Structure 1
Amino acid sequence: MAAPTRAYSSSSSSPSQRPPLLPRKFPSSGFEIIDPSIKVEEENLPFYDPKIFYPARIGQVIHDRYQVVAKLGYGTTATTWLCHDLVHHHYVTLKIHVNLLPHVREVDILRYLKTFDSEHEGRNHIRMVDDAFRIEGPHGTHEVLVLPPMSLSLRALQEKMPTGVFDVELAKAALPQVLLALDFLHGVANIDVHAGNLLVGISDDSYLEHFAEAELTRPSARKQVSDELTIHDSQLLMAGHGPLYLCDFGEARIGDEHKGVAMPIQHRAPEILLDVDWDWAIDMWSVGLLAWNLLEPKPLFTIYDADNKELNEAHHLVNRSC
């Protein structure tokens, strides 16, 4: 394992008075081995290249401090891992970015948000960063965010509903929390507000210890690609019913005037489609779509032709004017 580089921001939590914990020894056998011919997790991304993702593995200690306990998920720009902070004796989530990014915008945005009014109620609905550092992988440098652990996203919860939609009362409870978060962000456009980026907070931290114990006694499935690369199966972290948190500020913008393409295709506000100036208010368009998508089994807008931008945007504008 390559040695980490120095951190470029310090943790906001106070140092533990207790000595650092020793790493746990996780099982090296007894788990399901996934057939090497089957694509799993990030391998299913259309652009997947094993050289761009950091090859984290369960049991590994990252940055001389964070022991990987379980894989929580993956996306186009990062993988996320539940880790035990051996210094502060608590659990955190590491978001390890691909090495293609010369700079991770989310680091700047989250640092900027930390300067905002700490008394604003909406701050309690933003997933703030605790720390950030860089690590060297086999094929380049990866930026890492240290974040509070969260439970499932609203999208994941909705997919578990028998009807595929939320009860009206649940949706009515969720939307005011989103609005509080956006009010706190005034002057910052998240531009990616949707059910997949709204995570449920953890109401009982003891669940995280049970989650770690489960990996020790019933280790999760994995695919051994090579001696250096193991792809772990992501685990669902279902841990109670805390408040909602707006997450993922990788595409966010600071300021009152912007121009150009933004937002996922099917979520784009009229300003984006018409190529006019836009600002943080486009997030309110996303709230409207969110309300629809929480209560209806089919999205209000879909991608009609991903290979034809002009035709796709024409369809969107037609639907918006009906």
Structure 2
Amino acid sequence: MSHLMHLKLSLERHLRTKPSRMSTVIAEALPERLPVEEECSSSYSPNHFYPVRLGEIFNERYQVVAKLGFSSNSTIWLAKDLHQWRWRSARYVAVKVNANPDDVKSAAEREFQVSQLLEGTKSRLVNSKPAGITGHQYAHILQDYFNLNGPHGVHFCTISDPLGESLEDLKQRLEGRIPLNLLKAATRMILRGLEFLHAECLFIHTDLKPESIRLTLGRWKPQAVARAERKTPRPQKKLEDRTIYTSRQAGDLNDLVRVVITDFGASVAGNDCFRYEHLIQSLPYRAPEVIIGAGWSYGADIWNLGVMIWDLLEGKNPFDSISSMNAASARKHLARLIGFLGHPPNDLLARGSDTHRYFDDKANGLTSSGECCAGGQAIEAVPRNFFYTRGRAK
């Protein structure tokens, strides 16, 4: 029996995909003093990040062939699946290597758990509804995970289909604004994804922003990315204990297949009969009901989408000057809201546990000194030249 098992394993190894040869081309060396990619984060610590090397094989299965991206808490890599049979087309996946602090690991584990719930809903819908109407293809679902032992701790890693750049990356590449026709198409896809998340999965994302919307890659794009990295490696910075690689741009407007919603680590279960009260959302994207403590639900995601569309189209988030959520910043945020949209609905103000901090009993806005701004006016006027469309003030 042991002989047969050994023969079986030997045959499988022979028939599976072989590791790729790594490039012999010398990459451009970046100065050691220059912060690169994940190093630019204010919270970056080299002890928190696993020192990934091109060519490294994770979990005895995934060979790293290129860097796809990074965040303040992770790096993302294109990897070749060595368990694919040799006679089939090479399979590539994205490996997200999360930083090792406990809170980062917990959020990553939470995201994988949510992904499993989304996958269960997707399977049920695919078997019960006509193809193409469920919206699941616009939600990025993780496929697997493994733990990676690093020099300073354990890193929780997830496996998924490879993705290209985020809408934030694309905006920066296009000089600050995404073309209207492309943004319209992306918005329709995001709405389909939110419909799947809200109506079918009963989940609220809670942190929708340009960084969490990513472009998918066409069927043959991963092979092209791997080939390009072999022929012309991206610049890298070599340090004593690690190499900091730069990401290879995988997004291309001509190859756009669809966009997908990612990063479900902060998602919560939705309930039409219940409103959450804890703080959510990145500060510039924070909804008014969250600020005043009025309770929030699915609508918080729709608010995020609206602010995100403005940001991507106009090249400027209307609330990007909000850098902290103390009382003064909250007043400033609400002031701009009123300047853009008019006075908040009275029923919303009535629900807010913190409304009294920003409005008097007649729903007039309060200044930082507690003085009233008559007529519900905001404590800060909106700059007259704030509204722009393609460089011209409205």
Fold conserved (TM > 0.5)?
yes
1:315 and 2:327 aligned: no
Within a 5 Å distance, the mapping from 1:211-226 to structure 2 comes to: 211-226=225-240
1:174 and 2:196 aligned: no
- Pick from 43, 47, 51 the counterpart of residue 47 of structure 2: 51
Aligned residue identity for 2:178: F
Which stretch shows the higher mean deviation, 26-35 or 243-252? 26-35
Per the alignment, in what secondary structure is the counterpart of residue 165 of structure 1? Answer: coil
Other-structure match for 2:16: 20
**d(CA) in 2 for partners of 1:149 and 1:313?**
38
1:148 and 1:18, CA in 2 relative to 1: closer, same or farther beyond 3 A?
farther
Other-structure match for 2:100: 99
CA contact (8 A) 1:19 1:87 kept: no
Other-structure match for 1:301: 319
Q: If the length of structure 1 is used for normalisation, what is the TM-score? A: 0.88
Residues 267-315 of structure 1, C-alpha deviations (whole Å, 9 max, x = no match): 0011210123212221011121122123212212123453x62111111
Residues 190-231 of structure 1, C-alpha deviations (whole Å, 9 max, x = no match): 11222222112222x2222121112212122211212x4111
**d(CA) in 2 for partners of 1:255 and 1:246?**
17
1:37 and 1:305, CA in 2 relative to 1: closer, same or farther beyond 3 A?
closer
**d(CA) in 1 for partners of 2:179 and 2:63?**
39
1:122 and 1:206, CA in 2 relative to 1: closer, same or farther beyond 3 A?
same
Between the two proteins, what is the percent identity of the paired residues?
28
> Structure 1: which 5+ residue stretches go unaligned?
1-15
- Measured after TM superposition, the shift of residue 18 of structure 1 is 8.6
**RCO higher in structure (CA 8 A, sep ≥6):** 1
Other-structure match for 1:90: 91
Counting helix residues as a fraction of each chain, which structure ranks higher? 2
- Measured after TM superposition, the shift of residue 37 of structure 1 is 2.0
CA contact (8 A) 1:265 1:303 kept: no
Other-structure match for 1:68: 64
CA contact (8 A) 2:25 2:231 kept: no
- Measured after TM superposition, the shift of residue 171 of structure 1 is 2.3
**d(CA) in 1 for partners of 2:337 and 2:46?**
40
Aligned residue identity for 2:116: R
1:25 and 1:168, CA in 2 relative to 1: closer, same or farther beyond 3 A?
closer
1:188 and 1:17, CA in 2 relative to 1: closer, same or farther beyond 3 A?
farther
Aligned residue identity for 1:48: Y
CA contact (8 A) 2:206 2:300 kept: yes
Residues 72-125 of structure 1, C-alpha deviations (whole Å, 9 max, x = no match): 111122110011111123011001111113422211111111121334521010
- Measured after TM superposition, the shift of residue 17 of structure 1 is 11
Which stretch shows the higher mean deviation, 151-160 or 70-79? 151-160
1:280 and 2:295 aligned: no
Which stretch shows the higher mean deviation, 153-162 or 309-318? 153-162
**d(CA) in 2 for partners of 1:111 and 1:150?**
19
- Pick from 228, 231, 249 the counterpart of residue 244 of structure 2: 231
Per the alignment, in what secondary structure is the counterpart of residue 142 of structure 1? Answer: strand
Which stretch shows the higher mean deviation, 100-109 or 27-36? 27-36
CA contact (8 A) 2:65 2:229 kept: yes
Per the alignment, in what secondary structure is the counterpart of residue 152 of structure 1? Answer: strand
1:130 and 1:270, CA in 2 relative to 1: closer, same or farther beyond 3 A?
same
**d(CA) in 2 for partners of 1:96 and 1:293?**
29
Per the alignment, in what secondary structure is the counterpart of residue 238 of structure 1? Answer: coil
Which stretch shows the higher mean deviation, 24-33 or 109-118? 24-33
Other-structure match for 1:13: none
Per the alignment, in what secondary structure is the counterpart of residue 79 of structure 1? Answer: strand
**d(CA) in 1 for partners of 2:43 and 2:210?**
24
**d(CA) in 1 for partners of 2:331 and 2:48?**
36
Other-structure match for 1:11: none
1:167 and 1:220, CA in 2 relative to 1: closer, same or farther beyond 3 A?
closer
Per the alignment, in what secondary structure is the counterpart of residue 72 of structure 2? Answer: coil
Other-structure match for 1:266: 284
Question: What root-mean-square deviation, in Å, do the aligned CA atoms of Structure 1 and Structure 2 show?
Answer: 2.0
1:210 and 1:38, CA in 2 relative to 1: closer, same or farther beyond 3 A?
same
1:146 and 2:140 aligned: no
1:136 and 2:137 aligned: no
Aligned residue identity for 1:210: A
CA contact (8 A) 2:25 2:230 kept: no
Count the aligned residue pairs.
Answer: 303
CA contact (8 A) 2:277 2:293 kept: yes
**d(CA) in 1 for partners of 2:82 and 2:337?**
52
Residues 155-206 of structure 1, C-alpha deviations (whole Å, 9 max, x = no match): 22222335x3233332222212111111111121111222222112222x22
Q: If the length of structure 2 is used for normalisation, what is the TM-score? A: 0.72
CA contact (8 A) 1:61 1:67 kept: yes
1:129 and 1:217, CA in 2 relative to 1: closer, same or farther beyond 3 A?
same
